[in-house]
Amino acid sequence: MPHRRAPSRLTAAAPAAAAAALLALTTACTAGTVQGRPGASGLRDPYFPKAGNGGYQVEHYDLDLDYDPAGGELNATAVITARAQQGLSSFNLDLAGLEVEDVTVQGEGARYNRTGRELTVRPAKDLKKGEVFRTEIDYRGKPKPIEDADGSEEGWIATADGAVGVGEPIGSMAWFPGNHHPSDKATYDITLTVPKGYEALSNGELTSRTDTADGQTAFVWHNPEPTASYLATAAIGKFKVTTGRTPSGVGLYEAVAPAEAAASAPALAKLPEIVEWGSRRFGPYPFGTAGAIVLPAESLTYALETQTKPVFSGAPDENLVLHETAHQWFGDSVSPKSWKDMWLNEGFATYAEWLWSEDHGGTTAQQYFDAFLTGDTAVDKAAGSDWAAFPPAAPPSAKDISETPVYVRGAMVLQRIRQEVGDEKFFALLRGWATDHKHGNASTADFTAYAERSTGHDLKKVWDVWLYGEGRPK
């Protein structure tokens, strides 16, 4: 069970007293003797300006989550290790719903305040620029879904036999406090304590599984590679679990809802081959483990490339397993600097589908390109979609970042580069991009500069027409 403390004085105060205390804190922050200043409450992302927080970078999350599937109650502690990028008198964490019971910074009680989805923390002592600091938050409640701009739900989702945490783009704040923007990647240790008989999955490697005296089982997961918080997951259910290794030694961990096991088997049987194929095409697989989590059908309306273990709602087909596994290179290892850069995730993963087909004797990438250009739905049913509604590098709004142009026209950008530079330079570009930006973040501007530098070609017309151009390219 997570350690619990008594609620802080500020939380227990009457609303008026709490407001007065917060005002005093704000006034103190501006006094001449104070070296720190408040961290920003958002990173001004083009589509989610309040996502993430300024003034620090998280290095590690240690989450201890005790969850009761029957009652939907989460009882948790988050220990966040971060480095101050400026002198900080206060800083913010993103957290939606849930009751905060206590906060400490560097082992001392800290005052805090909740406003909407912002948790503002005032340490007992100002933090110095460059200081590595440890924040511990005890919290509890019934986590709830967050509705996206496109109407889909993310965050903490109850399933037929448990729950799952999925976070693209901002849903992770529904189940743990943090700096929830893809530009701040961190490592994770996640302990999930659930009633005996349930399985509990998270990112990375299972380091221990312990039955406790009170009828619970604690699963400890270690995820040592940098991870954007939207790619963190926690999945709880009556899964059938299998483990193994790819021929090159990558660990495999698959958890499947029993009702989906038979239908999932053919596609999941391809996973070792997909990981090995991707390693040849895109460079070595960037993580220590791979796998899949298959939820009961209709738990979600989408699949998500949660790091090392993509989440599927119902049995996936081979293309979907390929797409989400390709994201381990493009999106997970090389993550976007902002949500405007989503085509670097989805365009690349869609192009991976085309390459997989081409390499296995099916439709070639050029044939897919031509089919979308001409609207040939006999090659691909989606060829009749409005794939050119907007340029992939400039979706009109937050609700458009997962729409067809980001996927299909993004993939077509890559095929246009291939047409311009030839196969040798193009495939060297794909491998170099994934290798040189491994475990980091990148923007569209980073990619266009890298592509021209690595191929030695002037690709301005490709960018002007296909990547940024309005209207349907010809």
pLDDT at residue 29 is higher than 80: no
Percent of the chain with pLDDT over 90: 92
Find the mean pLDDT for residues 166-184: 98
Percent of the chain with pLDDT over 70: 93
Rg of the chain on CA atoms, in Å: 23
Structure letter (DSSP) for residue 396 = S
pLDDT at residue 7 is higher than 60: no
pTM of the model: 0.92
Find the mean pLDDT for residues 309-326: 98
Find the mean pLDDT for residues 372-395: 97
Task: Measure the CA–CA gap between 436 and 434, rounded to whole angstroms.
Answer: 6
Label residue 474 by pLDDT band (50, 70, 90): confident
Q: Are 294 and 286 in contact (CB under 8 A)?
A: no
pLDDT at residue 10 is higher than 80: no
Write down the pLDDT at residue 35.
Answer: 75
Task: Measure the CA–CA gap between 353 and 426, rounded to whole angstroms.
Answer: 16
CA-closest candidate to residue 227, choices 58, 383, 91: 58
Look at strands 216-228 and 205-211 and give their pairing: antiparallel
User: Where is 23: in which H helix or E strand?
Assistant: helix 15-29
Q: Cis peptide leading into 169, omega within 30 of 0?
A: yes
Q: Where are the beta strands (DSSP E) in 267-400?
A: 289-295, 311-313, 335-336
Provide the residue type at 36 as one letter.
Answer: G
What does the mean pLDDT of the chain come to? 93
pLDDT digits (tens, 9 = 90+) for 239-255: 999 999 999 999 999 99
pLDDT at residue 298 is higher than 70: yes
The better pLDDT of the pair 12, 51 is held by 51
Label residue 377 by pLDDT band (50, 70, 90): very high
CA-closest candidate to residue 145, choices 134, 132, 161, 156: 156
Write down the pLDDT at residue 149.
Answer: 87
The better pLDDT of the pair 120, 3 is held by 120
pLDDT at residue 26 is higher than 90: no
Residue at token pair 């988050």:
78
pLDDT at residue 318 is higher than 60: yes
Find the mean pLDDT for residues 432-447: 98
Residues ≥6 apart with Cβ < 8 Å to 210: 217, 218, 220
